[in-house]
Structure 1
Amino acid sequence: MTEQHDANLPSTDSQQSNESIDDVKTSGNNFSKKRIAEVWNNATSRFMQLLPLEQVAQRLVKQLSVSEAQVAEILQTVRAELPTTEALLIGKPQAGKSSIVRGLTGVSAEIVGQGYRPHTQHTERYAYPSNDLPLLIFTDTVGLGDVYQEQKAIIQELINDLQKESRGARILILTVKINDFAVDSLRQIAKELRHKYPDIPCLLAVTCLHEVYPPATADHPTYPPDYQEVKRAFAAIEQAFSGVCDRSIMIDFTLEEDGYTPVFYGLEALRDTLADLLPEAESQAIYQLLDRSAGEQIGNLYRDVGRRYMLAFAIMAATLAAVPLPLATMPVLTALQVSMVGLLGKLYGQTLTPSQAGGLVSAIAGGFLAKAIARELIKFIPGFGSVIAASWAAAYTWSLGEGACVYFGDLMGGKKPDPKKIQSVMQVAFESAKERFKGIKR
């Protein structure tokens, strides 16, 4: 858990993003794309000789793009509405703290390890799903040993952290392996924190139950375990923390390769206990994360934020497309859409260069480009051609934003973006957006 991770997209994430873009690109019809590219390049070259469109695009995008300050303001507004829970995990190394993070978030062990970042000398912090919009914040004590001087330093750092004003709920989670009875240092830390902050609930989580199962036990029993070895050890640890903790539970969160089922043994008990100790809003958020697809919940949250300025880009695109000059506005529209995708990437913690954002637009757009050229030609029809092109450009820009959100959401969840899923989302979004933007005028 000591491996550092840059939440703003490290080089490994950039490689994953680029590989995913390549995968999406290969899903299309190569011949059609080649033909479209030839038409596009030839048309663009001719118009670039007549008009300084590159300079126009740069100026327009600079004027109309949502600034980082505006994005920060949107995030701040949404963050203020989130039911965020901060869990302070206190326990020795290998006591199951990262396993609790995995159980509550559903992310892989590798992602958890990379996601922790140094917070103070003796603590590290992991925000889920991101630092910008966290639903769960885990503060993990590291280097917890038996030296009293170290205990004092850890206690002081935690006290300093708890003194800071927090909008969300807080809870202390003490993790102890079921066969570890050298808990004096942990008890001392918890006792001092409870004395200073009695209103912060404290949960004792006894972990690694399988290490005291009877010989030849191959799997978890029905929860809770009825083995005497487990009951005796659990009772002894509960007694050691008598008067310190509000509640205590038994859990055993293992890895898939360990062969125990379920992998997160006692997860429902942890969920219910947290719900009892936390305020209603925060406990409901945890229930939703565990009872429904966490990826879907987080994806909806981020898309809701993204839509706050996708609409602005769609209207900008309609305004540009209403210019009654076939194909002349296409480079500017493309620059605008590249800017939108780049900003959506930032929202999801994926920093893309303009060229990478342009490559992603080309990759996820697929067959929409052919339709775009066809719609531009409608401008030759007197009277209503520009209005049709404007409404279509708004709908296409909106659907492109929806597709980008799916792409970035998959990356955030550690998944490989699915080209078919992206195309399906774009098609549905496009059809509904056409109705939404029908008749839009400049």
Structure 2
Amino acid sequence: MKIIDQVYRTLNPETNPALQTAFERSAQQLPTVWLLGKTGAGKSSMIRALTGLDRVEVGSGFKPCTMTSQQYAYPTDTPVLAFMDTRGLAEADYDASADIANCESASHALLVVMKAEDPEQSQVLKALKQIKRSGRIRELLLVHSGIYQVHDELERQRCIRHNQQQVEEVWGGRVDALSVDFNAPEGLESNLQGLKDKLGQRLPIIRELFQDQGHNDAEEHNFQQLKSEVMWYAGAAGACDALPGVGLIAVPTVQLKMLHSLANQYGLEYTRRLLGEFAAAMGTGFGVQYASRLGLRQLAKFIPVWGQTIGGASAAVASYGYTYALGRAACMYFYRLKRGEPITHQELREHFKQAFEHILPVARDEKSH
């Protein structure tokens, strides 16, 4: 318990300035879905359909990120994903360079959104030509929106083929596409699940956040309500651990702050005693193993060339995964504790291991860009 007391005092999540650095760095690297399309093409409707938020929540959440684009961070308070909406296409001198650079800093998916009934797409095609020439963004998804506004089936398919051909001529080859309508008449399919599937292939975090997953019990259902927050902390830990010398203090600080927040949300008071009991429940060897691996990751980052590239990326992935898994294990522990139900070392460690392996595709994708 003396070690726990020392850690608690040194890395008090209420006072440590490393937290601000961690979250600021993470916010600059959010995985980004770039929505390229004319005003009225259905981009905001797409965000609302994915997130389940209403028009006001989405509409008021956009913030400028470049001269011609705005960004919507999701969730607002604990962002783990961003949607970038290009709003400057109507300007004759629109330059996509800043938007391309903005998406380069994080893993991304480029969605070209075209309303099926609108064949005049010159603004979008002009921007797409510049994006293609840059060579920095190699893959896109074309979304034909509002398809049921074209009532005749044959005419609808003709409109879709026309816009598909326009895009493929600019892109220079076959372009993956799907059709959606988030205001579909009753009895017709919006194809929201198809959109989730397509996006999930490009950004694993989309699959993690928005795919419907069955919950075996109430504990899993509770965790789903907290998952995005745990991922937010994981992203902050990973962002800091990519920098030499920063992760040794910042990563444990972020993790302690996460435990603090999760304990409060389960109606528990965050104290040294609670932290010590959770550490004990994880097993005596867990803390030693954690500390040694964290230290080795920091040392590896100081190796010339290798440390600043592969070493940093590996450290970021590991810290993302460890933080997420720690949060998952803590939620299980706090849930059982609140209900007065016992939990064994083996159960808790198994939850930690499963969560770490489960989230690795997201961690690797985020930290590979």
Q: TM bucket by the smaller chain?
A: 0.5 to 0.7
Give the superposition deviation at 1:293.
5.5
Residue identity over aligned pairs, in percent, reads 21
Give the superposition deviation at 1:119.
1.6
Contact 1:170 1:201 in 2 (8 A): no
Partner Cα separation in structure 2 for residue 88 and residue 393 of structure 1: 41
Q: Please tell me the residue identity of whatever aligns with 1:71.
A: L
2:109 maps to what in 1?
171
Give the superposition deviation at 1:240.
1.9
Give the superposition deviation at 1:184.
1.1
Contact 1:181 1:237 in 2 (8 A): yes
Partner Cα separation in structure 1 for residue 16 and residue 272 of structure 2: 27
Give the superposition deviation at 1:133.
4.3
Give the secondary structure class of the aligned counterpart of 2:169. coil
Partner Cα separation in structure 2 for residue 138 and residue 346 of structure 1: 29
2:94 maps to what in 1?
153
Partner Cα separation in structure 1 for residue 212 and residue 167 of structure 2: 34
Across the two proteins, how many residue pairs are aligned to each other?
256
Give the superposition deviation at 1:286.
2.2
Partner Cα separation in structure 2 for residue 92 and residue 99 of structure 1: 13
Give the secondary structure class of the aligned counterpart of 2:168. coil
1:197 maps to what in 2?
135
Partner Cα separation in structure 1 for residue 117 and residue 37 of structure 2: 14
1:32 maps to what in 2?
none
1:287 aligned to 186, 193, 207, which one? 207
Give the secondary structure class of the aligned counterpart of 2:17. helix
2:47 maps to what in 1?
101
Partner Cα separation in structure 2 for residue 346 and residue 125 of structure 1: 29
Partner Cα separation in structure 2 for residue 158 and residue 78 of structure 1: 19
Partner Cα separation in structure 2 for residue 293 and residue 139 of structure 1: 26
Give the secondary structure class of the aligned counterpart of 2:34. strand
Partner Cα separation in structure 1 for residue 18 and residue 275 of structure 2: 24
Q: Are the structure 2 counterparts of residues 128 and 306 from structure 1 closer, same or farther at C-alpha, using a change threshold of 3 Å?
A: closer
Contact 1:170 1:200 in 2 (8 A): no
Partner Cα separation in structure 2 for residue 112 and residue 434 of structure 1: 41
Q: Please tell me the residue identity of whatever aligns with 1:228.
A: L
C-alpha RMSD of the superposition: 4.7
Residue segments in structure 1 that go unaligned for 5+ positions in a row? 1-60, 215-226, 308-342, 349-360, 370-388, 397-424, 437-442
Q: Are the structure 2 counterparts of residues 65 and 173 from structure 1 closer, same or farther at C-alpha, using a change threshold of 3 Å?
A: same
Give the superposition deviation at 1:261.
4.8
- The 5-angstrom pairing of residues 327-346 of structure 1 reads none
Q: Please tell me the residue identity of whatever aligns with 2:147.
A: L
TM-score, scaled to structure 2: 0.54
Which of the pair has more CA radius of gyration? Answer: 1
Partner Cα separation in structure 2 for residue 305 and residue 271 of structure 1: 20
Give the superposition deviation at 1:259.
5.2
1:120 aligned to 50, 66, 73, which one? 66
Partner Cα separation in structure 1 for residue 61 and residue 259 of structure 2: 18
Q: Please tell me the residue identity of whatever aligns with 1:267.
A: L
Give the superposition deviation at 1:395.
6.7
Partner Cα separation in structure 2 for residue 392 and residue 119 of structure 1: 41
Q: Please tell me the residue identity of whatever aligns with 1:189.
A: A
2:229 maps to what in 1?
302
TM-score, scaled to structure 1: 0.46
Partner Cα separation in structure 2 for residue 128 and residue 196 of structure 1: 28
1:429 maps to what in 2?
337
Give the superposition deviation at 1:77.
9.3
Contact 2:78 2:229 in 1 (8 A): no
2:85 maps to what in 1?
140
Contact 2:75 2:228 in 1 (8 A): no
Partner Cα separation in structure 2 for residue 390 and residue 189 of structure 1: 55
Alignment of 1:265 with 2:204, yes or no, is: no
Give the secondary structure class of the aligned counterpart of 1:173. strand
Alignment of 1:65 with 2:12, yes or no, is: yes
| CA deviation profile, 1:207-255 (whole Å, cap 9, x unmatched) | 11111114xxxxxxxxxxxx2121111111112222334222211112x
